[in-house]
Amino acid sequence: MSAVRRALVVAKAPRPGRAKTRLAPGVPAELGTGLAEAMLLDTVDACREEADEVGLLCPDESHAADLRALVGPDVAVRVQRGRGLRAALREEMLVGTRAGALAIVSSDIPGLPRGELTRALELLREGADLVLGPALDGGYWLIAMTRFHEAPFTGIPWSTPACAGVTLRRARDAGLRTELVGEWLDLDTAVDLSLAIHAPPGPLGARTGQALARIASSIEVPGPPAGRLIGSEVVVASPGRALLRDRLEEDGATPRDHLYLAVPRAVLTVAVTAGGEVLLVRRYRHPVRDWTLEAPAGPVEDGEPPQAAAARGLAEEVGGRGGTWRHLGTSFSSSAHLSLRSDAFLATGVEVDPARPRDEEEVTVVRMPVGEALDHARSGRIVDGQTALCLLLAASHLE
């Protein structure tokens, strides 16, 4: 008797203003939501063609209710254990593989590449410990195991272009036999949208194709970048970052290497006390061999909302709490060299308790009147680019 083929799709409810936000503001919210719904339904249908049992895994019960109404009673929907992508994948694989082989699939893809889910499950039957379906953005759209192994979930720079490469390295270092199925498109950014419309890597789901056609008829979608990724190597990695060497090829040109640092998303906060002082920190930064004056900042942990990460970082670095919060914008600090994407916040009416810096951090809290801080940013006396940008973004709300 053959083993039951099981697939689980990781999904969020496609809600206006919450779905495909990285396509905004270029793509109107209703079109982004329609695209998210189309991809989810196409992916579920494609899984049902190649698996005997298909379910959905979602962040919480509010998502579960919406998803049950969308996919109908034939697809089981359950809430993940823990918070964030790592917890969703690890805990479900830990429990799910007790019943045999399991493939977990993303819903941010335009349907499945035909036959690749079947192939992943066959590779497991042939003895593979881990099967990944790499995505064009450096992540993966599929992970499959017959028995649970910890290594693919340990020390991974989640949500960075190094995710799949480091996962494979961790697994191989642990002695696991790894296999890959076909590369596919994870559709999150404007470049992903361009590829899906102008140069898809294969046949897309029917609903997804219609949703993309509606977008293409509503807005101008530029063509994809000239450079095509033909190879990627993890040079060195740690849990928080990885140095990548990507090989890019353009028509008629010699392939070239691009070396850059893949790092998780970060947050910065312009924190203003009720007394009208901006809370900053002065710290030594070894790469520039200097002390810099900076806004309180920190990484966004896997599954953590950016504003929650900003509030946590503010408490750790300067002891700030409470206040009224506003999202100022999102930026890339050095897009030629880093994948770092940062969200800036303004918090006013902040109260100050003793700081709780991490053990390895040596920071000095600096209080500066709002007007003086803005003058420093405008005159170039604040040399940390992200901090200066945050203060300038906050200026219209503070003056």
Share of the chain above pLDDT 70, in %: 98
Q: What are the tokens at 104?
A: 């977990």
Using alpha carbons, select from 106, 89, 93, 158 the residue that is nearest to residue 304.
Answer: 158
Selected residue with higher pLDDT from 255 and 359: 255
Asked if pLDDT for residue 360 goes beyond 80, the answer is: no
Average pLDDT over residues 30-51: 95
Question: Would you say 43 and 105 are in contact if contact means Cβ atoms under 8 Å apart?
Answer: yes
Question: Would you say 344 and 389 are in contact if contact means Cβ atoms under 8 Å apart?
Answer: yes
Q: How confident is the model at residue 322 (pLDDT cuts 50, 70, 90)?
A: very high
Mean pLDDT for the chain overall: 92
3-state helix/strand/coil string of 107-123: CCCCCCCCCHHHHHHHH
Which amino acid, 179? Answer: E
Range(s) within the chain of domains with CATH label 3.90.550.10:
6-218
Average pLDDT over residues 106-112: 94
Burial class of residue 79 in the structure, from the number of CB atoms within 10 Å of its CB (0-12 exposed, 13-18 middle, 19+ buried):
middle
Q: How far, in Å, CA of 299 to CA of 275, rounded?
A: 28
Share of the chain above pLDDT 90, in %: 74
> What's the topology of domain 6-218?
Spore Coat Polysaccharide Biosynthesis Protein SpsA; Chain A (3.90.550)
Instruction: Give me the pLDDT at residue 375, please.
Output: 96
Instruction: Give me the pLDDT at residue 333, please.
Output: 86
Q: What are the tokens at 177?
A: 């036999």
Residues 326-337 have pLDDT tens digits of: 999 999 988 999
Longest dimension (CA), the chain: 75
Q: How far, in Å, CA of 276 to CA of 76, rounded?
A: 53
Using alpha carbons, select from 75, 88, 5 the residue that is nearest to residue 44.
Answer: 75
Instruction: Give me the pLDDT at residue 229, please.
Output: 84
Q: How far, in Å, CA of 20 to CA of 17, rounded?
A: 8
**What CATH number belongs to 266-398?**
3.90.79.10
0.75 exceeded by the pTM? yes
The rounded radius of gyration (Å) of the Cα atoms in the chain is: 23
Give Cα 230 distance to the centre of its chain: 22
Which amino acid, 308? Answer: A
Q: How confident is the model at residue 39 (pLDDT cuts 50, 70, 90)?
A: very high
The CB density around residue 117, as the number of other CB atoms within 10 Å, is 25
Task: Using DSSP, state whether 77 is helix, strand or coil.
Answer: strand
Instruction: Give me the pLDDT at residue 303, please.
Output: 72
Asked if pLDDT for residue 160 goes beyond 90, the answer is: no
Asked if pLDDT for residue 41 goes beyond 70, the answer is: yes
Average pLDDT over residues 73-79: 90
Asked if pLDDT for residue 63 goes beyond 50, the answer is: yes
Q: How confident is the model at residue 361 (pLDDT cuts 50, 70, 90)?
A: low
The residues that bridge with 143 in the sheet, in sequence order, are 104, 132
Q: How far, in Å, CA of 354 to CA of 157, rounded?
A: 31
Asked if pLDDT for residue 1 goes beyond 50, the answer is: no
Instruction: Give me the pLDDT at residue 25, please.
Output: 82
Range(s) within the chain of domains with CATH label 3.90.79.10:
266-398
Question: Would you say 156 and 238 are in contact if contact means Cβ atoms under 8 Å apart?
Answer: no
Residues 183-218 have pLDDT tens digits of: 999 999 999 999 999 999 999 999 999 999 999 999
Task: Using DSSP, state whether 361 is helix, strand or coil.
Answer: coil
